[in-house]
A and B are shown apart, each in its own frame.
Chain A
Amino acid sequence: MSDSLANDSGDLDQDDSQEELMTPAELISSLEEAWLNEKFSPELLESKSEVVECVLEQLTHMESNLQRVKKGDAKASIHRMEVDRIRFVLSSYLRSRLQKIEKFFPHVLEREKSRGEGAPSLLSPEEFAFAKEYHANTETYLKAVALKRMPPNLQALDLLKAVPEPCLDSFVFLRVKEKQENILIEPETDDQREYVVDLEEGSQHLMRYRTIAPLVSSGAVQLI
């Protein structure tokens, strides 16, 4: 017991120091990576709440500083432009997540429900609230508009079946950040054979998302 506690706190310390080691510039680039990955992956990726929170903190800090400088300051206008650029990336990232939640809400909620204890959360608390509300509203709407006028035996509604799942077999473009060996490529047709490829660092590829999905969440490849 004490062992596991010690381990836990050790892990926490490590996490903390990692976050502290991250410079604001690295923080911004990790936000940009998350943005591109989210934009191009067919399914909803893990929520990057820490990154989002840290960036927001930086932005509010900078904005409160900016309010104190007088108008017409050359430096302030440059800072303001940078803040606007970062805000754009941040909102585009959050928006693309919301779009995916709206599109796949039953599946997202299902995955969140079946997620194991301690596994990283797919949704931030706000996104989770949004997904639940969206789910409830869609259901109520469908019932009010059509279902309650149907014969009783047709009134049941299974949103999990009614809403299409994300298509993990879509192709994606990706750039390799850490060398990977022996990635199995499944054949397209029956008369082709499966084969393996090595992904060299810095190379770019086109392949099915399903093959490399774990590499996207581990950060070994970047979707482009």
Chain B
Amino acid sequence: MSDTTTDRGSDTFGFIRRNMRQYGILFALVIIMAFFQVVTGGILFRPVNLTNLFLQNSHIVIMAVGMLLIIVAGHIDLSVGSVAAFVGALAAIMIVKMGLPVPLVVVLSLVAGALIGAAQGYWIAYWKIPSFIVTLAGMLVFRGLTMWALQGQSIGPFPKEFQMIASGFIPDVFGPDKPNTLSLILGWGAALVILWLQVRNRKRQEAVGIADEPFAFFVGKNALIFVALAWMTWALANFRGLPNVFIVMAVLVALYSFISERTTLGRRIYAIGGNEKAAKLSGINVERITFLTFVNMGMLAALAGLVVSARLNSATPKAGVGFELDVIAAVFIGGASMSGGVGTVIGAIVGAFIMGVMNNGMSILGIGIDYQQVIKGLVLMAAVIFDVSNKRKS
């Protein structure tokens, strides 16, 4: 055992206080969920509503993982809503008007998104033009191009195959009876894998004496996550099974968490946002990595565009208006820092679900869109104030 924990106090309460930034957001989500579960009379957690919650927020979650990297690198992307709409329009034209096969269209759409990201990232990374300006221009340009491409009309409907992206559920290979067995296997399997990874990591930390988290807290946290995942899987499997987009989201979250926390690429992105000059003097290719984060964002915005148009079953000129604000809000609620270098993928996802649960809960309660906006705005402000005051204390 090193002298790590002795002089910092290893009691659970002290640990929570030190890690408020990380866990505060998770507590907030749990509290908000509990609150709406009670005031909606239990509607929130009904399988049908739970399913809707995922379907309705999938595009925000998909874009939030990309936006997290952008914001961690010290930039911002205001164009994602317009880019999503534009790629949705392109896909609609390719499928409905041109009759191209869906898999090809998906690939072409993602490439188009990546190219758009590259076009914006080029000016930001290599010409050092502020990302706020470049992507503000992008926001206008791609909104305009969306209207132009659609000629002001909606295009739809899509073939079933394409709709499945957003509104399909994973098939049950073990027969049609409920609960959906494959969903159960996947969901519970994932919960077990997460638990196992956490335990393994804990053991390794203990072996080298750097386990900081109090044991009781470790057990409590993981029990909560495991039970939540297992129960949610059970609920969804008894309804229609896991939605396809849920799988997409889960894969993206796992992949991007891994990239941001475990790879040299992720580490470099954090270093650039934390101190660009120091990163540059450490031999990090700041320009190329900044460029790549925007390429990635463009691709994820394109994916979100496909999901949204598949869900609405049409591409419309107004699709994706205001998405960028929801996505950016999710990332900041999730604890990312405006000045870069700080933030986690999981935090951004939790932030997205806080927004999602509030939207959903308030809609169930019949609260008007006017009040909803006010409340969401205040929650965003509160989250950031909480963060700043927390930082000031430490």
On whether the two chains bind one another, the answer is: no
Q: Which residues of B contact A (CB under 8 A)?
A: none
Q: Which residues of A contact B (CB under 8 A)?
A: none
